[in-house]
Structure formats: C-alpha cells, structure tokens
Amino acid sequence: MSKRTATGRVGRYGVSLISLGAALLAAGAASAQQATTEAATLGEVVVTGARASGRTVENAVAPIDVINGQAVELANKANVLEQLQANLPSFFVPNVATPNIGSMVRSGQLRGQNSGHTLVLVNGKRRHSTAFLGAGGESATAPVDLSTISSASIRRVEVLRDGASAIYGSDAIAGVINIITDDSPEGGRASYRYGEFADGGGETSVFQFSQGFRIGEAGHLRLSGQYDDQKIVIRNSPVNPALLYYFPINPVTGQEILPAGNLESNPSLPVGAIPNPKEATRDNNAWINSGKAPFTLSSYSIDFGLPLNDKVETYAFLTYAERESSAPQNFRTPNRNANVRAIYPNGYTPVEAIDETDYSGLFGIRGNDLFGWNWDLSSVYGENSIDVNVHNSINVTYGAASPTSFYIGNHNYSAWTSNFDLRRSFLIASIPTDVSFGIEHRREHYQLGAGDAAGYTHGGAKVLDGPNAGQTLSNSFAVSQALPAYRPDEEQDVKRDSTSIYVGVSVTPVEAWSVDLAVRGEDFSDFGSKATWRVSSRYDFSPRLGVRGTVNTGFHAPALAALSYRSVGNANTSTNYTLAVSSPEAIALGAKPLQPETSTNYSFGVVAKPFWGINLAVDAFQIEVENRITALGQVNAAGARWLDNPANGTPAPGQSVSQRLTNGRINPGDGISYLLNSSDIRTRGVEITADKTFLLEQDNFLNLPAGSRLNLSYAGNFLKRELTKIYDAPPVLTAYNPNITLLSAGDAVNLTNTLPRERHILSGSVNVGRFQAFVRQSYWGELPRSGVVPAGSPNAGTEIFYDIGKIWTTDLSLSYDIRDNATVTVAGNNIFGTRPEKTPAPLQAFTQLWSYGNNGAIGAEGAFWSIKLDVRW
C-alpha cells in the first residue's frame, strides 16, 4: 500500500469521526438548545461590501466571512496568506515548489480568479501591490503581498466573496479582503512559536508582540511586530544514476571524452566508455530545489487614533517590513559548458535571492457632522522594493575571472492613493436610505533597474578545458547562470494616474428588504475610462430564512509592470525572452497594447437557521472574465521560416525569427514570448457555510463540565472553470506558423484548473476550563495537470494528463492556560503527512528518479509540528 493511500484512509476516518460527533450533537441538541450561543462574529458590524451603516455578517446582502485574530493564530501558518487559505475554502494559495522569485513572493486566488482580481484593503483603504510581476507563479500578475503584514497587528479579517469594483474600483472582480487592525488602547501580548517538519527541515521560529497605549481619554497608540525565521525544506529525489557528472573515460587512451546525449541536460555514458572514477564520490543529492524556500521576515505596524473634539478624529496606520529569501536552482553538473571547472570542479547550484523592503503610511481625518454628513479624508502611500541577486553562480564567458555572485537588478513599485468620502442616512418617503459618494485619485510608479554588466555581457572567454576546450561559447552562455542580470535596455520607469468618482445608495423599502446600488467611473491615464455598476438585494422571509443576490460588472487594470515588462530567463539548454509589449520586436510579432480584463458577475444565495440555531448559507455564483491576460506560448527562434507573402505562402530567403527581429542576438533554440489578452473564461461555483456553537449544561451527553463550549463548522466550495473563447493569433504569427495558438492545449488545461474543483473544511473545537482542543479536516478535490513527454524519450511529444488533487489533510491544536494570562499550544498541520501524487514517470526530467507535482494544494513537505507560548497582560 502506498503512503498516499494510507494517509487518504486516515483522512476519511477523521471525517467520519467529525460526522459522528455532529450526529451525536444533533441527538443531544434538545437538552443543549436553550444554552446555545451565536457565533461571536455574526452580530459584529462589518465595514466591507457596502457603504451602508449597521451591516453585520448575519444581515449582509452578499457573503462575507469574518476571521478573528484567534482563528488566524489557530491556523499555525507562516503568514496571513496561508492563514486565510486554512480558514476559507474559496481562497487558494498554490504550492509553488518551482525555485524562482515566484516561490518567494506568493499570492492567493479567491473564487478561482487570478490573484490580481482580489482587492486588498487595510482598515478600508487600498493596499499597494508587490513590485514583482509573476508573484505566485502567475504571469502578468502583481497582487498585494499579504505576507508582509504582521499577524500580530490583526483584529479580524473581513472577506467579501463577491465582485465590488463599483464600490472599490479596479481589481475587485473576485471580491475584497479587508484587514481590520487591532486598535486596543491598553494591554499587550507576546508569543513565541517553534516548529519543524516531521521528515526534517523547515525549522521555524516566530516571535510576535503587541502593546497598546492610551492617549488622553479616547486616543490610542498600538505597536505590533513579528519576526519569522524559516529554514529550507528539501524534498528532491536522489539523482538518476544514468546522469553523468563528469566526463567519461575512453578505456583505450585514458582520455576524457564527451558523454552521449545533450551535454547540458542529459549527459550519459557512451557505448564502450567507462565512468570517470570521480562518479564514485559524487553527491547524489545535489538537487535541492523542491520543497520550501527559506526566509526571514520582520514586520512592524503602528495604529494611531486621536479625537480632536466630539465630532472629528485623526487616525494613522503605518507598516514596515523587511524580507530576505532564497531559492536554489537546478544543479549544474561539472561536465557542462555552463561551468568553469577551475571555479566549481564538482559543479554548483545557483541560488536566486531577494532582499525586499515594504512600507506604507496611511493618514486621515474624519468626522460625523459636516452639514449632516459623515466624512472621511485620507491619503495612503505604499512602496515595495525588491533587490534580486544570484549567488553561487557564474558567467562562463568570463572564464576563471567570472564573479560568482551577481546583482540582477531592482523591482520597485509605489502607489499613492487619496480619498474623500461622504455618507449620510436619510428618511425618504419614510424609507431608510443611506447615500454615499466620493472621489479617489491614485498615482502608480514602477521602475525596473539594471544589474551587473557581467550578468548579461559576453566576456570573450572560450571553454577552458575538457573535450570541448577552445570551443566558442554562444550568447546563450553570456549571462549569470540561473537568472541573467537585467540589461540597461530592459530598464523601466513608468507612471500611471487614475481618478474615480463613485456613488452608492442603500435603501430598505420594508423592514425585511434591503437594496444596494453602486456606480463608479474610473479614468486611467494610459488606457482610458471604465465604468462599473452593482445591484445587490436581500429579502428575509422570516428570522430563519432569507435570500440575497448580486449582479455587477468589474475590471482589472493591467499591472503597471506588465505594460512594459521584459525579462530574460536562463534555462538548462536555452534562454527564454519575454519581450516588452511595447518593444519593436514584440510589435513585429503582433503584440498590441494590453487592455483591462473585464467581468460580469452573478450571484444568488440563501441564508437560513433551519433548526437548533444552526447558521447556514448557500451561495451560487458565475463570473465571466473577458480579455484575460496571459503569456504567449513560447515561439522558438529557430522554427519555420518567415513568409514574404503570407497570402500565397512564398517563403522568405532563409530568415529565422532571430535574424529578422534581433539581428541574431536571440539564438536558435531560444524562446520568445510576450504578454497579451488571449481569452475569455467563465467560472461557476457554489459555496456553503454552516456552524453551530453549544454551551453545555450539567449532565450533557459528552460528560463535559457545565459551561464547556463546543463548536462545529463546515465550509465547502464547488468550482468549475472553462474557456469560452481563445482569441485568434495575430496574422504575423500565423504567417510564421499556421498552427500557432495563443493558448496550447496544456496551457488551457492548466489555466482552467489552477485550483481544485472542490474544497471542504470541517472543523470542531471544544473549550473545557483551561483546556482547548481544535481539529480541522480539509479536502482538496480534483486538480488536473498535463505535461508533454520531452524529446529523446519514448513517445516524445505525447501529452499526458494526471491529477494532483483528491487529498485529505488533518490539522490539530491543543492549548492549555497554564495561568490566567499564559497559554501553551501544541499544534500540527497535515499531521498524517499526506503528499500529492508523484509526476508520471514519462514526464520526469532526466535528472530525477521521481518528483511531486507543483502548484497543487500542498507540497511534499509532510507533517509540521509546533509549540507556542502566548503571554498576555
């Protein structure tokens, strides 16, 4: 029996136990019913999703999840991003094991949409995004990096699962995440958590603190901070024994000779040759790039508020974060031309690294009586800067004089957003009405700075030794290995301004019926104007049953970095070029200016308390996105010849893509791509939430002490994505290759299956005196993937489909209050060590014996355990 099968059964037993517990509770509900209490968050006023006053989770016109600080901490995860995934079935964070910057700067997807389609607010104000385009492995996406926000500063997180561009502007296609910070004027806490993976690696230390100070009678100052240190997790297979590290030996002459196969990717032993004696002492675990990237993160925040009088108060919220992280790349065997054996006689592993700084300052003043209107004037500036380096690398065209560390360049993004909002409640013809309107201005600025010249120039050296000694090295080798430095002609400095005007009206025609209307116009300096609208309504037939629904339009402005982004990536055997959309080369290949992604959303839901005080909500939705931005599938620079006259098919006289576009700078075998609006996509789904809290009396059926609290909850998400249209390729591309498509079959499969088809979270907690226990059972459904059998293998070119989903995981937390103000918690995530399916053998790289699928729900790390001490005062 495989480990996957065994752990799957354990997971099913866990679900069965929870289901049995739920049945027992139902049986005993009659005696406990009078003592039940509502979940604390249901009656809490929320500020996300409408500008009307007095809305709660219980009476909201759209689905809103409220995750309090305790739930965030119980997740036992490294950051807010992963904490949200643990609590919300509609929020998915792909496990990016591929070793690049996208695995260090991660992102999450709400309701199956691109991570850039979720707007992030902090205390109701727009948060700036990351400077790195491609966060979380998603091309053309620069979302907000939630991991830079300290968990210690959070009071709760409100998640609106519905489109809200008409309320908040660009990016709110899937919904809104609003982080509400802790503004308590007194008291404090500190905690320390240590954990590691059961199979080794990932040693993690997390220190948090928060302290409040009262200013005057009603003002406050809250200081919070967090420090995270996580070591690397390595889950690579041993190296394939058939892969040669060193040059084989001719048994007759005793000289080193070239191996069989491709020297840069699959060198193997030629017929009649013998292995180099050095093979006997080689490191068979040289690949260390599958697992989790190590990082350290320091994040701090200041929350401030001070009333100026009984009608006006000023407020501020400031954050600062620093992160260092690294990601090992593919091992370069010592026999490759991509090595200088005088520097690395036994090969080397390049390591990409980032040094990131992120900060934000929000300042505002608001009041409650400006000619009868509530008003709010605020301005927030945020900036994210990422220095990229590669260490333990080389530019072989510099020979023995090559540096081994390179500065690759800098990504920098800033946003300055200012708002003025007005809101007032009226009685119009005896109908309660809330009216709101406002204006917003945002200035964005993106810069890409060049790196070390030695990271992108040819040093003139040839192969120094070995069978290829004296061989000229092509331009493909004239870069820092793993990640070429950004060239001066790739530098960017672009700005964009946008101005919005928005109006909202909320009415309650009768006590049981509420209607929200919103419209917004937004003008961008680069691509023009967009208007969006939203209509939401709810009707309660009784205190136990209500229905709600929304129709809205939305849009996502292309990330500023995407409009002019270009990059060069160094693979094992070639270099891949992403051309700037506005560059002459991309335009010659049919590129056009990127247009905003637009959406139309429909949702309908039922909220009910069917029996015993259970809170139940079922919401169905459909999101149609047009002009989806993706990357063009790579065009090979040495492919079919251009046609002089596409109409009659006359071939050009011997010109390749490289010669025609770049005067030969892009070499045969290199890849060319650019960003474009490629397709339309539709997402349909159903979300279910249910919870019940019991306050147990004496002689209860569980034999727990009177006053014990028991909570059971379920949340589920069913999802289906499908491409409704793939746009035609530009004529210039079809002239180059009549069979070219903007999305290959594999790209289409991966685009429509970026997250599981279904997700279920069953959780239960019990509080007995000083003791608390919590268990969460999670299921990730079908997650199809595909791959093409590489050249040189049997059945090369065949596309293979497989599944890395259908996974159960179990999380457990046990806490004990050793004093009234001190708690010790032992927690485990994925305690049975479930792993995804391994990649099918025909798709394995020649270097591997096996590997686990990337970009799934979980990685190959296995079980994680931690212990935490939390002290409050």
Check residue 476 and give its pLDDT: 79
pLDDT band at 731 (very low <50, low <70, confident <90, very high): confident
Check residue 582 and give its pLDDT: 83
Q: Which domains does the chain have, with CATH numbers?
A: 3-241+284-872 (2.40.170.20)
pLDDT band at 98 (very low <50, low <70, confident <90, very high): low
Question: 602-606, 654-658, 753-757, 841-845: lowest mean pLDDT where?
Answer: 654-658
- Whole-number percent of the chain with pLDDT over 90: 63
pLDDT band at 318 (very low <50, low <70, confident <90, very high): very high
CB-based contact 350:391 (threshold 8 Å):
yes
Counting every residue, how long is the chain?
873
pLDDT band at 421 (very low <50, low <70, confident <90, very high): very high
CB-based contact 612:33 (threshold 8 Å):
yes
Q: 371: which residues sit within 8 A by CB, 6+ positions away?
A: none
Give the closest residue to 123 by CA, choosing from 177, 167, 185: 177
* Rounded distance between C-alpha atoms, residue 405 and residue 454, angstroms: 10
Q: Report which residue type is found at 700.
A: N
Q: Where are the beta strands (DSSP E) in 273-336?
A: 291-292, 295-307, 312-328
Rounded to the nearest angstrom, the gap between the alpha carbon of residue 416 and the centroid of all alpha carbons in its chain is 23
Question: 278-282, 493-497, 532-536, 580-584: lowest mean pLDDT where?
Answer: 580-584
How many of the other CB atoms lie within 10 Å of CB of 342?
Answer: 11
* Rounded distance between C-alpha atoms, residue 245 and residue 55, angstroms: 65
Higher pLDDT, 500 or 15: 500
User: Of the segments 269-278, 563-572, 725-734, which one has the largest average pLDDT value?
Assistant: 269-278
Check residue 4 and give its pLDDT: 34
CB-based contact 202:186 (threshold 8 Å):
no
Higher pLDDT, 41 or 834: 834
Dihedral Cα 132, 134, 140, 143, nearest 10 deg: -60
* Rounded distance between C-alpha atoms, residue 11 and residue 654, angstroms: 61
Phi/psi of residue 73, each to 5°?
A: -70, -35
Mean of the per-residue pLDDT values of the chain = 86
Cα distances (angstroms) measured from residue 851 to each of 4, 27, 287, 873: 14, 47, 11, 48
Check residue 337 and give its pLDDT: 93
- Whole-number percent of the chain with pLDDT over 70: 88
Check residue 510 and give its pLDDT: 92
Per-residue pLDDT, averaged over 541-566, amounts to 91
Per-residue pLDDT, averaged over 515-527, amounts to 94
Give the closest residue to 25 by CA, choosing from 765, 671, 719: 765
Give the closest residue to 605 by CA, choosing from 617, 623, 622: 617
Q: Report which residue type is found at 521.
A: G
Number of helices (H) and strands (E) in the chain: give both, helices first.
Answer: 9, 38
* Rounded distance between C-alpha atoms, residue 86 and residue 76, angstroms: 9
**Radius of gyration in angstroms for the set of CA atoms belonging to the chain, rounded to a whole number:** 29
Give the closest residue to 323 by CA, choosing from 290, 293, 288: 293
Two tokens at 691? 């919870």
Rounded to the nearest angstrom, the gap between the alpha carbon of residue 776 and the centroid of all alpha carbons in its chain is 22
| 653 exposure class (CB count in 10 Å sphere: 0-12, 13-18, 19+) | exposed
Per-residue pLDDT, averaged over 733-756, amounts to 78
CB-based contact 832:32 (threshold 8 Å):
no
Give the closest residue to 268 by CA, choosing from 649, 619, 793: 793
Check residue 231 and give its pLDDT: 96
pLDDT band at 567 (very low <50, low <70, confident <90, very high): confident
Check residue 653 and give its pLDDT: 46
Two tokens at 474? 């092509």
Higher pLDDT, 130 or 139: 130
pTM to 2 decimal places: 0.90
Two tokens at 280? 């006997």
Q: Angle at CA 67, nearest 5°, toward 205 and 809?
A: 60
pLDDT, tens digit (0-9, with 9 covering 90-100), for 792-807:
678 887 888 889 999 9
Per-residue pLDDT, averaged over 671-698, amounts to 90
pLDDT band at 69 (very low <50, low <70, confident <90, very high): confident
How many of the other CB atoms lie within 10 Å of CB of 126?
Answer: 23
* The pLDDT of residue 819 is above 80: yes
CB-based contact 235:859 (threshold 8 Å):
yes
Give the closest residue to 556 by CA, choosing from 494, 626, 496: 626
pLDDT band at 11 (very low <50, low <70, confident <90, very high): very low
pLDDT, tens digit (0-9, with 9 covering 90-100), for 189-245:
999 999 999 999 999 999 999 999 999 999 999 999 999 999 999 999 999 999 999
pLDDT, tens digit (0-9, with 9 covering 90-100), for 336-390:
999 999 999 999 999 999 999 999 999 999 999 888 899 999 999 999 999 999 9
Rounded to the nearest angstrom, the gap between the alpha carbon of residue 70 and the centroid of all alpha carbons in its chain is 23
Q: Report which residue type is found at 7.
A: T
CB-based contact 577:568 (threshold 8 Å):
yes
3-state secondary structure of 491: coil
3-state secondary structure of 150: coil
Per-residue pLDDT, averaged over 88-110, amounts to 83
Token pair 């989790």 is at which residue?
292
* The pLDDT of residue 474 is above 50: yes
* Rounded distance between C-alpha atoms, residue 857 and residue 782, angstroms: 10
Give the closest residue to 727 by CA, choosing from 786, 682, 676: 676
Token pair 């994680």 is at which residue?
864
Give the closest residue to 771 by CA, choosing from 728, 721, 709, 719: 709
Q: 1: which residues sit within 8 A by CB, 6+ positions away?
A: none
Question: 16-20, 641-645, 731-735: lowest mean pLDDT where?
Answer: 16-20
Two tokens at 419? 């708002």
Phi/psi of residue 544, each to 5°?
A: -105, -10
Higher pLDDT, 17 or 632: 632
Give the closest residue to 208 by CA, choosing from 187, 188, 192: 192
Per-residue pLDDT, averaged over 110-138, amounts to 91
3-state secondary structure of 167: helix
Check residue 52 and give its pLDDT: 61
Check residue 668 and give its pLDDT: 62
